[in-house]
Amino acid sequence: MRLSDRIARLGTETAFEVLVRARALEAQGKSVVHLEIGEPDFDTPPHVCEAACEALRAGATHYGPSAGLPELREAVAEDSMKRRGGRATPEMVVVTPGGKPIMFFAILALVDPGDEVLYPNPGFPIYESMIRYIGGVPVPVRLLEEKGFALDVDQLCDKVGPRTRLIVLNYPHNPTGGVVPEAGLRAIADVAARWGVPVLSDEIYSRILYDTPHVSIAAMPGMEPLAIVLDGFSKTYAMTGWRLGYGIMPASLAQVVARLQTNATSCTATATQIAGVAALRGDQSPVDRMVRELRRRRDAIVEGLRSLPGFQCARPRGAFYAFPNITRTGWSSRALADKLLEEAGVACLSGTAFGEFGEAHLRFSYANSMENIQEALGRIRAWLERPAGGGSETRRAQEELAASRG
């Protein structure tokens, strides 16, 4: 079957591919610790599950409106005003199966072939995939480790010009856990307003922050007509498999995005949306407990990674990923990720899965039990220090690296 030319430009998310490879190794009887996939290992709060079950029993088994159920759009708008400030009305909300479709729909709705889109690199791979897919020109904004992976605002502002059609931001950031300080967001908001460029602000990790409260660019002066917020339930309420997310955007764009949804999926599952109302309006203590536990794991994994030979690790400020620099191991990130999976039994992702500027890093998801995190750290250490195989290869790679640096 002949495929369209554009399909060759479609990228993917390596996490799902590594998961398949890890499962294949497990099927052969090998043990693998899974630190590759970005999903909380917590259960969805019971009152949320109960709301969905009750809804199904009460007959919520039919199509709903494409933009989402009115009660969920209202709950999302209320929650957003409470957490972000700024104005949000139900007409500005579109509910989707996961937050991801908002990326797809917003880029489809706003970007024509040849238009430039700024996006973080390293960053969530689907931004670049979607930009290329529709024929846009991806313009990476490099995140700098020495700045704690906060976006380099000057660099971003310098890249905005007459061909810029969209700026994609993501904070707290996947894969680095970096955040953008408020002053930086103000500078981006100013430049976006000056050029009239919309901003897609991916805030899917906005409830998973350890040091500072969340500040949204969407609530900044001049941003209401330009901001598209992406958020959802996957991470905050441990609901990845439910597929429930949303976008908040100017009402005129929301109508277009809802039409895209009519074309793609018709609507988001009705009972799932009723569960979403229960999540937003119900007890928030499970979220607080999860974030407290994730902070404990963050501290443990950062300390553990820093103690491994050749690893350096910045402290993530949000989300649930550590992104250590592995330059001093002498390995490239892809080769080391492969070796750790195949020989050490630890699944993680190469930094290059998040774009070219992810080289020299690995991504570990610490949304896993403390026991598994410690097991993974022990396996990596044993592999790096192994006298035959890993150890000697590592030393050889380090010697070659030192020699090449003179």
* Residue 216 vs 240, nearer CB to ligand PLP: 240
Token pair in block for residue 215: 């500040």
* Residue 98 vs 345, nearer CB to ligand PLP: 98
Distance CA 175, CA 371 (A): 22
Distance CA 314, CA 148 (A): 7
Q: Which of 222, 188, 192 is nearest to 87 (CA)?
A: 222
- Smallest distance, ligand PLP to C-beta of residue 307, A: 27
Can you tell me which of 40, 64, 140, 232 binds ligand PLP, judged by CB under 6 A? 232
Can you tell me which of 22, 33, 34, 38 binds ligand PLP, judged by CB under 6 A? 38
**Read out DSSP for 265-329?**
TSS--HHHHHHHHHHHHS--HHHHHHHHHHHHHHHHHHHHHHTSTT-B-PPP-BTTEE--B-GGG
* Residue 92 vs 204, nearer CB to ligand PLP: 204
Token pair in block for residue 2: 């002949």
- At 280, the amino acid letter reads L
- Smallest distance, ligand PLP to C-beta of residue 170, A: 5
Can you tell me which of 34, 73, 84, 100 binds ligand PLP, judged by CB under 6 A? 100
Q: What is the largest CA-CA distance in the chain?
A: 72
170 binds ligand PLP (CB under 6 A): yes
Dihedrals phi, psi of 37, to nearest 5 degrees: -95, 140
Can you tell me which of 40, 136, 245, 276 binds ligand PLP, judged by CB under 6 A? 245
Distances (CA, A) of 398 to 25, 147, 178, 186, 337: 28, 26, 29, 43, 16
- Smallest distance, ligand PLP to C-beta of residue 229, A: 12
Can you tell me which of 35, 153, 204, 290 binds ligand PLP, judged by CB under 6 A? 204
Q: Tokens 């660019």 map to which residue?
A: 217
* Residue 125 vs 184, nearer CB to ligand PLP: 125
Task: Measure CA 405 to chain center.
Answer: 35
- Smallest distance, ligand PLP to C-beta of residue 368, A: 15
* Residue 66 vs 236, nearer CB to ligand PLP: 236
Residues near 170 by Cβ (< 8 Å), separated by ≥ 6? 120, 123, 124, 127, 201, 202, 203, 204
Binding part of the chain for ligand PLP, among 27-35, 55-63, 97-105, 299-307 by CB under 6 A, reads: 97-105
Specify whether the backbone of 355 is left (phi greater than 0), alpha (psi in -120 to 50) or beta.
left
Question: In this structure, how many other beta carbons lie within 10 angstroms of the beta carbon of residue 278?
Answer: 20
Residues contacting ligand PLP: total by CB under 6 A? 13
Can you tell me which of 40, 98, 286, 355 binds ligand PLP, judged by CB under 6 A? 98
Binding part of the chain for ligand PLP, among 98-106, 132-140, 144-152, 376-384 by CB under 6 A, reads: 98-106
201 binds ligand PLP (CB under 6 A): no
174 binds ligand PLP (CB under 6 A): yes
The dihedral through the CA atoms of 302, 306, 310, 316 has a sign that is positive
* Residue 240 vs 325, nearer CB to ligand PLP: 240
Can you tell me which of 14, 240, 268, 394 binds ligand PLP, judged by CB under 6 A? 240
218 binds ligand PLP (CB under 6 A): no
Q: Could you tell me which residues are beta bridge partners of residue 230?
A: 202, 247
- Smallest distance, ligand PLP to C-beta of residue 174, A: 4
Distance CA 81, CA 62 (A): 30
* Residue 240 vs 261, nearer CB to ligand PLP: 240
Residue nearest to ligand PLP (CB): 98
Binding part of the chain for ligand PLP, among 210-218, 232-240, 374-382, 386-394 by CB under 6 A, reads: 232-240
Interacting residue ranges for ligand PLP, rule: CB under 6 A:
38, 98-100, 124, 170, 174, 202, 204, 232, 234, 240, 245
